[in-house]
Structure 1
Amino acid sequence: MTQQPAAAGASSATGALTSRYIDHLRAERGLARNTVEAYRRDLDRYATYLAEVGLTDPRQVAPDDLQAFVAWLRRARVGDGRAYAESSVARMVVAVRGFHRFLAREGLAAEDVAADLGTPRAPRSLPKALSVAEVERLLAAPVGSEPLALRDRAILEVLYGAGLRISELTGLDVDDVDRVDRLVRVRGKGDKERIVPYGELAAVALDAWIVQARPTLAGRTPALYLNARGGRLTRQGAWKIIVAHADRVGLGERVSPHTLRHSFATHLLDGGADVRAVQELLGHASVTTTQIYTLVSRAALRQVYERAHPRAKR
């Protein structure tokens, strides 16, 4: 089935009711303009479906019609012939469910026919990890003994060596670093603190930054990482630094804000680390979140097996 233009053939009743819901999202819930427009597009697709199956009023819809709508979305194709991603299907279902909830709550429909409509689960995407060799290329990108080069090397080494989020790294103060035992105190999500070790190579880079370079830039801030003006380095500033070095060594397209963190976790598991220990190091509240990295390792094992085993393929 080819996706029709948005809301093609939609009835006036459907249009009037969806407009009321959009006004509610904008005026009463105060959603951002882009979010409201996304809801509008999703409800336009729903209106297209209703018109195609001859439902002239959303208040005529039954639960079975909603299940059929989900099936219709999965068969539909966008302009270039691709199917909707499961995440897009899930988002549209959320919009339709909210719409029918609104109709019932406002007394515009006798009941909420979407009350039992579950949201399709989007498949979990695997984190993108660099190989060990690619990480080494990236970590070697900052060259020279200038203060900013030493800072950049310390940023990359600690991100990978401790598995930090960029926001955690830029939130560090000098007093958070125990240079004797090679530990760093991190404030993660929900302001939860954890203590994370870092390795010898990260220690060399961090010591060079703290002892040799940071004093030449330091203002009155306790921040560990500074910008060129002596203030605390921001998350955006750190991200620009990482991208610049990734581009320099030909890894720009492979690097995202969490790439070194993903690589940290994947390489630990590949090296035999226990998933519970990796959970603690990453600061994940649930081991379920950490277990997605075990899927990365399994995927790597599968590739090795298929390349190497004589009977892996016909």
Structure 2
Amino acid sequence: MPPNLTQIPPANRVILDGFINYLNNERRYSPLTAESYSRDILKLFKLADTTPISELCDHQIRRFIAQLHSGGLGPASLARTLSAWRSFYYYLIRDYKFKHNPCIGLRAPKLTHNLPHGLSPDEAVRMVDLPTNGDTLTVRDKAMLELFYSSGLRLAELVNLDLTEIDFSDASVRVTGKGSKTRIVPLGKHAISALQAWLVVRQKLASHEDGALFVGRNGGRISSRAVQLRIAGWGIKQGITSGVYPHLLRHSFASHVLQSSGDLRAIQEMLGHVSISTTQVYTHLDFQHLSKIYDAAHPRAKKKS
């Protein structure tokens, strides 16, 4: 557990605040990414203990990574942590005249590119085919589920959507992804239908001044945690025992479309991946299994309305 802000020296608090401002205002990182970096820097402060961060050497950073690894942190998390530390030291060199970056040349333990478990097409369709029965929250949840699975959005991307970013005439949604980069993602007919149904009842929950597409019980923009809890609950109700969460739906979207279409570049654009190498993890799947079941690019493409 990283220390909280009250447990670190005031000088380090000032440095951390400056770094977070740098991430938010200069690098244009999302609040969630900046918060993640903050947690990683707090880990560094804790591991350094009484050693000034200006005096840390590469062998000490290597030892810190080993400690985190032995404590159960996986390769992906370690790589992210090391990346955060490296960025932190670049900032310190620029703004605090530090002499060197002790993270340069260090690598986290090698990532194993095992594809995480995804939903089967039947499970995914069952998950999004919610019987709404006119319930406002269920109508909203169905629209969120359709966007996750039909358009492959990230959790933060969905939560931050505004009403003005849905274009029914063009069957698309304008998404702001990592690094504040925008992309246009197509909307399937099922997603359009679910969104239109939600917009009919949205005013029952929404505050007049709130332009958020999805709102919570309090009338304001729904929180990421609320979305996670609602989706997990629906997974249980729909009989999917392995657990359902937003990124699983995004992953299932990419896996199912790619298995049927084989168009890796199109998937890269829809997911908002900067590098094709990030998308290539999906090529480890069996391309034939779903192709025999679904002959369209998306498993729901030919499902009867």
TM-score range, shorter chain: 0.5 to 0.7
Whether 1:118 aligns to 2:106 is yes
Whether 1:171 aligns to 2:160 is yes
Tell me the equivalent position of 2:251: 262
Range with bigger deviation, 238-247 or 249-258:
249-258
Tell me the equivalent position of 2:221: 232
SS in 1 for 2:183: strand
Evaluate the alpha carbon distance shift between residue 25 and residue 137 of structure 1 in structure 2; reply closer, same or farther with a 3 A threshold.
farther
Tell me the equivalent position of 1:160: 149
CA contact (8 A) 2:148 2:249 kept: yes
Equivalences for residues 238-249 of structure 1 within 5 A: 238-249=227-238
For structure 1, the residue ranges without an aligned partner over 5 or more in a row are 1-21, 45-60, 99-111, 303-314
Find the partner of 2:180 among 191, 215, 219: 191
Tell me the equivalent position of 2:283: 294
Evaluate the alpha carbon distance shift between residue 78 and residue 185 of structure 1 in structure 2; reply closer, same or farther with a 3 A threshold.
closer
SS in 2 for 1:196: strand
SS in 2 for 1:155: helix
Alpha-carbon shift at residue 180 of structure 1 (Å): 2.8
CA contact (8 A) 1:130 1:254 kept: no
Tell me the equivalent position of 1:18: none
TM-score, reference length from structure 1:
0.61
Cα distance in 1 between the residues matched to 2:180 and 2:147: 20
Evaluate the alpha carbon distance shift between residue 41 and residue 169 of structure 1 in structure 2; reply closer, same or farther with a 3 A threshold.
closer
Alpha-carbon shift at residue 128 of structure 1 (Å): 3.6
Alpha-carbon shift at residue 266 of structure 1 (Å): 0.8
What residue identity is the alignment partner of 2:203?
A: P
Equivalences for residues 59-70 of structure 1 within 5 A: none
CA contact (8 A) 1:177 1:184 kept: yes
Evaluate the alpha carbon distance shift between residue 256 and residue 115 of structure 1 in structure 2; reply closer, same or farther with a 3 A threshold.
closer
What residue identity is the alignment partner of 1:241?
A: R
What residue identity is the alignment partner of 1:245?
A: W
SS in 1 for 2:246: coil
Tell me the equivalent position of 2:202: 214
Kindly provide the CA deviation profile for residues 242-261 of structure 1, in whole angstroms up to 9, marking residues without a partner as x: 11112222436432331111
Evaluate the alpha carbon distance shift between residue 165 and residue 89 of structure 1 in structure 2; reply closer, same or farther with a 3 A threshold.
closer
CA contact (8 A) 1:25 1:36 kept: no
Find the partner of 2:169 among 169, 180, 190: 180
Alpha-carbon shift at residue 229 of structure 1 (Å): 2.9
Range with bigger deviation, 260-269 or 232-241:
232-241
What is the root-mean-square deviation of aligned Cα atoms in Å? 4.4
Tell me the equivalent position of 2:93: none
For structure 2, the residue ranges without an aligned partner over 5 or more in a row are 1-7, 18-36, 50-56, 89-99, 290-305
Evaluate the alpha carbon distance shift between residue 290 and residue 25 of structure 1 in structure 2; reply closer, same or farther with a 3 A threshold.
farther
Whether 1:283 aligns to 2:258 is no
Evaluate the alpha carbon distance shift between residue 223 and residue 115 of structure 1 in structure 2; reply closer, same or farther with a 3 A threshold.
closer
Kindly provide the CA deviation profile for residues 134-184 of structure 1, in whole angstroms up to 9, marking residues without a partner as x: 112221345321111111111101111111112111222222112233211
Cα distance in 2 between the residues matched to 1:155 and 1:257: 9
Cα distance in 2 between the residues matched to 1:207 and 1:168: 19
TM-score, reference length from structure 2:
0.62
What residue identity is the alignment partner of 2:123?
A: E
CA contact (8 A) 1:26 1:33 kept: no
SS in 2 for 1:118: coil
Count of matched residue pairs: 245
Range with bigger deviation, 129-138 or 140-149:
140-149
Cα distance in 2 between the residues matched to 1:172 and 1:28: 33
